[in-house]
Amino acid sequence: MAIRVHQLAKKLGMSSKEMLEVLSRLNVPVKGHMSSLDDETAEIVTHELATEQNKKKEVEVKEKEAVLKDLEVEFPVTVKNFALKLGIKSSDLIQKLIKKNIFASINHNLDDVTINAIAAEYGYKVHRPPTAEEVLFQDHHQVVDKTKLVPRPPVVTLMGHVDHGKTSLLDYIRKTKVTEKEAGGITQHIGAYEVMINKKAVTFLDTPGHEAFTAMRARGANAADIIVLVVAADDGVMPQTKEAVDHAKAAGVPIVVAINKCDLPSISVDKVKKQLCGMQLISEDMGGKTVTAKVSAKTGDGVDNLLEMLLLEAELLELKADPTLPASGVVIEGKLSPGQGPTATILVKNGTLRIGDIVLTDSCYGKVKAMINDRGHRVKEAPPSMPVEILGLSGVPYAGETFFTVKDDKKAKELFSSRQDKVREDNLKKTKRITLEDIYARLKDGIVKELKIILKGDVKGSVEAIEQSLGELPAKEIKVNIIHSDVGNINDADAILAMASDAVIIGFNVKIEPKAKETIEKEGIDARIYSIIYEIVADVTAAMEGMLEPISKEVFLGRAIVRQVFVVSKVGKIAGCTIQKGTIARSAIIKVKRSKEVVYEGKISSLKRFKDDVREVAEGFECGIGVDGFNTLREGDVIEAFGIEKVARRLEKA
């Protein structure tokens, strides 16, 4: 279909004269604005004009960007403060936001996209000033001087299903690979330790973990260079085995498989290897690349071979660090030690930590007053990959926090204050968000029940691990509310809080203090002590399922056929019935069906055998049934009787 030149010009928002100039430039022969263009020519012209317009806009944007002035903005920024930065009135900025369909007050925080777009309109390009954190990060991540890099020991952590022998394997390595001159071997429980293999050091992380991989487990994977996946030869691949593999792969950490319990009779290592193939862990003897070793933590068979494989894997990774840099690394464990105060087991990832260094973690800081290695000896410095317990911190850090050394105490206080401000700001946002979600949940699901818990653990890492495991439980109708969690024994303050809040006390590897025990027994408080996180999750799940309202389930009792309908004065219609199946009970709920369709659902008003009232009528007998509030019974109707059974419900995901 043809289109005239002036029509195309109008369609594209330009004058006929401008269109004629465009057609001339494109060598399209026309006589004037009344000339016609075929569809193909019109489409080509439209496309060419669109291309030209886009190029023109790109040039304009580049020209505009070239002259944009820098505007330093600290985030988050409110409408009021952003207006001050731009040098305009808040009301003018609000009007501009309204035009963009953004409705905000002067105290509303603006997002990055909106800020950048509006700043560009006023001739500015926004950039953030570097934070103290970023400056610190830059100090610790200087341009690598390859001449100063030296090999560092690999950091290894063991993962796998509960009871597959992770702890037994670690214990065997710990007992057999410590030099004889170390009296008592490794006696210091600091969550990590070094062993010597063929005169080369290997650091092992001893982190707990069971059914749901905890925060410590996930962070352990991030701190480790190699993961040893322990799989029992008799059980094979189990749920936690798969979870361990997922965590390792997500962290990008290489996996070495240790098939344990190979001393047991009637086991099939090949069967386990085939199961591992299903998770893309194909052993070298099956044509894959996964290093796999057969071991027995009980007899020690194959353990030396496994350790040699770890050294070979470490060589391939070419692990190096610069010991001359300021120290940085990861917190493995934090706790409150009697007589020592807050202590932390840390793993140096780069640089060297020395006595007197100022250490800053995410939640505390302090000068290193003492360092204790895994043998219980005090040391003056800790090079890369060395785990040590440090004293001198202002508080107990969480497992998985990063740490840096800073120049002086003043700088540490400044950075710590900055971090705490950010934490408070994040907590305010988090609290507000959760409150809104709770209101929405109450409107959507009705009254939301909650299981209140007071949680105490031996170390902060354990507490955090349990919190994460419980937080991952399905909670559509019931929420786990950990109203208090801390490190240390269960004390009287915990018991009083539980009494006032109607909460359950859960302890992990801790004791109940005498006064607290007295209060707990007197008030009948539910307090439980555990040593396995998996058991806590199982018991809490059972408790939550017990709090659910049971499901009302209909149970079929009997069926009657209406043979005749009688009208009784002052009573109404009575159905003369024969019980075809089961029993019809006076207390039952009934459904009246007509041509297989339910026409009534309700209760029985009367049940008689001849002139006598009866409680129930069995199969094969006749009876008279009065139906409450239903007077349109017909011959041939079917009356089915049901009982209501309460069935325990299972937790459902939100």
Locate the DSSP E strands across 108-191.
124-127, 150-151, 155-160
pLDDT at 208: 53
The amino acid occupying position 429 is K
- For the cut 80, the answer to whether the pLDDT of residue 421 exceeds it is no
Closest by Cα among 302, 306, 355, 363 to 327? 355
Q: What is the pLDDT of residue 12?
A: 84
Q: Does 445 appear as a known binding residue?
A: no
pLDDT category of residue 136 using cuts at 50, 70 and 90: low
Q: What's the rounded Cα separation, in Å, for the pair 539 and 77?
A: 46
Does the annotation flag 277 for ligand binding?
no
* pLDDT for position 413: 84
Task: Provide the mean pLDDT of the chain.
Answer: 81
Phi, psi of 493 (to 5 degrees): -65, -40
Looking only at the bridges linking them, the beta strands covering 612-613 and 597-609 are: antiparallel
Band of pLDDT at residue 430, cut at 50, 70 and 90: very low
Q: How confident is the model at residue 240 (pLDDT cuts 50, 70, 90)?
A: confident
Residue 210 annotated as lining a ligand binding site = yes
pLDDT confidence tier of residue 82, bands split at 50, 70 and 90 = very high
Q: Which residue has the tokens 């799989």?
A: 231
Q: Which of 523, 528, 517 is nearest to 491 (CA)?
A: 517
**373 annotated binding-site participant:** no
Q: How many CB atoms lie within 10 A of CB 308?
A: 13
Q: Tokens at residue 58, please?
A: 């790109």
Query: Has 628 been labeled as part of a binding site?
Result: no
* d(C-alpha 513, C-alpha 517), whole Å: 6
pLDDT tops 50 at residue 418: yes
The model scores a pTM over 0.75: no
Is residue 164 annotated as involved in ligand binding?
Answer: yes
- What's the rounded mean pLDDT across residues 528-547? 79
> Is the separation of the CB atoms in 474 and 651 below 8 Å?
yes
Which pLDDT tens digit goes with each residue over 473-512? 776 556 788 888 889 999 888 888 888 777 889 999 999 9
* CA distance linking residue 602 with residue 592, whole number of Å: 9
Comparing C-alpha atoms, which of 460, 470, 532, 528 is closest to residue 494? 528
Does the annotation flag 206 for ligand binding?
yes
Residue 209 known to bind ligand: yes
- The one-letter amino acid code at 114 reads T
| Of 161-165, 324-328, 437-441, highest mean pLDDT | 324-328
Side chain identity at 75, as an amino acid letter? F
Please tell me which residue, 607 or 337, carries the higher pLDDT value: 607
3-state SS, residue 452: strand
Q: Which residue has the higher pLDDT, 170 or 647?
A: 170
- Annotation-wise, does 278 bind a ligand? no
CA distances for 210 relative to 162, 291, 467, 471, 545, angstroms? 6, 24, 13, 15, 21
The answer, yes or no, to whether residue 19 has pLDDT greater than 50, is yes
CA distances from 516 to 337, 484, 505, 534, 626 (A): 21, 16, 11, 25, 62
- Residues facing 530 on adjacent strands: 508
161 is in an annotated binding site: yes
The answer to the question of whether 409 is labelled as a binding residue is no
What tokens were used for 318?
Answer: 């070419």
pLDDT in tens, 176-193: 765 433 333 433 456 788
Annotation-wise, does 207 bind a ligand? yes
Q: Strand, coil or helix: what is 310?
A: helix
Mean pLDDT over 98-121 rounds to 84
Tell me which of 230-234, 247-251, 624-628 is least confident. 247-251
Instruction: Judge whether 166 is annotated as a binding position.
Output: yes
**Using 50, 70 and 90 to split pLDDT, how confident is the model at 376?**
confident
Is 329 known to sit in a ligand binding site? no
Is 167 marked as a binding-site residue? yes
At 434, is the pLDDT very low, low, confident or very high (cuts 50, 70, 90)?
very low
- Cα separation, 305 vs 316, whole angstroms: 17
Domains and their CATH numbers in the chain: 3-66 (1.10.10.2480), 69-127 (1.10.10), 153-318 (3.40.50.300), 328-406 (2.40.30.10), 448-547 (3.40.50.10050), 551-647 (2.40.30.10)
